[in-house]
Chain A
Amino acid sequence: MATNDAPEQAGFDAVAREYRPQIYRFLLSSLRDPELAETLTQECLLKAHRNWAGFRGDSQVLTWLLRIAINLQKDQWRNRRLQFWRQTTTHAVDVSEAGNWLASNASSPEQQVAAREQVKLVWRAVDKLSGRQRTVFLLRHVEEMEIAEIAGATGLSEGTVKAHLSRAMGRVRAELGGR
């Protein structure tokens, strides 16, 4: 994970180019809506650009960017809840459809089928998680962040992050075991 040694020297363009895929991946996995993930990624980078001069480098750039992305996502959830009765249609991809994406490095077709099935089960478990549990789980197991980094990005304490992560893992384990 890249560290923020000299944010003043690194131009914001380079930072955005480097971390954009990770922000988009996190938002896509969290929202399952490519269009919305793209929009929020743009908003996140725009907000980061506006506050770039005020970034002191106390945390890593990615942690700081993900914190902005998580806050935007929270706002989005809040807006979506408010807009529920006005607009019930979303562009979120179905869990089974999201599970079809798989890197073709499995050795045999049978293994690919089994892997796809496992991915769908994990997606189903993630879909049942609460917002915080999902965020913590995705940051830990998709973005492969440390507990301290997750705590920095979410604004939660490390103990709370561990508790959310434990519950999320229990849910995934139960989903995989109940097939």
Chain B
Amino acid sequence: MRERNEKQIGDEELEQAIGYFRQSVTAWSEAEAGRTRALPQPKSNRFPVWLTWSMAGTVAAACAVWVLMLAGGQHAGRHGAMQAAIAPKAAMSAATSTQAATPAREMAPAAASQDGTQTSAVATEGLRPDAAEAGRVQASSRREDEDEQLLAGIDSDIAQGTPRALAPMAGWMSDSANQ
């Protein structure tokens, strides 16, 4: 097969083909050699000084923003947790204050209304634990005062003869006795 192929082309044709090949390689080589090549720049010149500084500044600013965001998130989380811990106590103190204010309002309207306003203010505020504690102490002392006032009133009524609370019954008894 190879011999048959070799016989198919003559030396002249072979020489001609190789001549074209030589011309082709030379033309290609000259074209490639004439082409301007982009030389790789050394690493030191890859980034100018100002660009390096501006990049460093940008990175530093980004880091600062990131740290601030992180700190803000942590603060918000802690604040939320604190609010969640305080809310039941505040609600309880508000309920206690309201219970304490109700009889006081019956016994002494002016004082009770004033105290009720304060209690509701504490219940509304209800964010700081020391304020809730102070409200609770104030409510218990007020309750003791009211008890003392009530007892004092009863004592004075007994001293007068008929307690004020029993006055209607005493009147009815005296009426029935007269009849």
Contact = CB atoms under 8 A, between A and B. Distances in A.
Contacts of B9: 173, 176-177
Contacts, number: 86
B27 A122 contact: no
B174 interface: no
Contact of A170 (B6, B7, B13): B6
A116 B5 CA distance: 20
B33 interface: yes
A4 to B, nearest CB: 23
Contact of B22 (A21, A142, A173, A176): A142
B66 interface: no
A28 B17 contact: no
- In terms of DSSP, what is the predominant structure of the interface of chain B? helix
Contacts of B17: 118-119, 121-122, 172, 176
Interface in B1-47: 2, 4-9, 13-14, 16-18, 20-33, 35, 37
Interface in B86-103: none
A178 B23 CA distance: 23
Given A170-B6, A177-B9, A102 B29 contact: no
B28 A28 contact: yes
Interface residues of B, number: 28
Contacts of B16: 118
Given A38-B37, A101-B31, A25 B26 contact: yes
A141 interface: yes
A171 to B, nearest CB: 9
Contacts of A173: 5-6, 9, 14
Contact of B6 (A25, A34, A37, A177): A177
Contacts of A24: 29, 32-33
B27 A102 contact: yes
Nearest to A140: B18
Interface of A: 21, 24-25, 28-29, 34, 37-38, 98-99, 101-103, 105, 115-116, 118-119, 121-123, 141-142, 144, 169-170, 172-174, 176-178
16 contacts: A21-B30, A24-B32, A25-B29, A28-B28, A29-B29, A98-B28, A101-B31, A103-B24, A118-B21, A122-B18, A123-B21, A170-B6, A173-B6, A173-B9, A174-B2, A176-B5
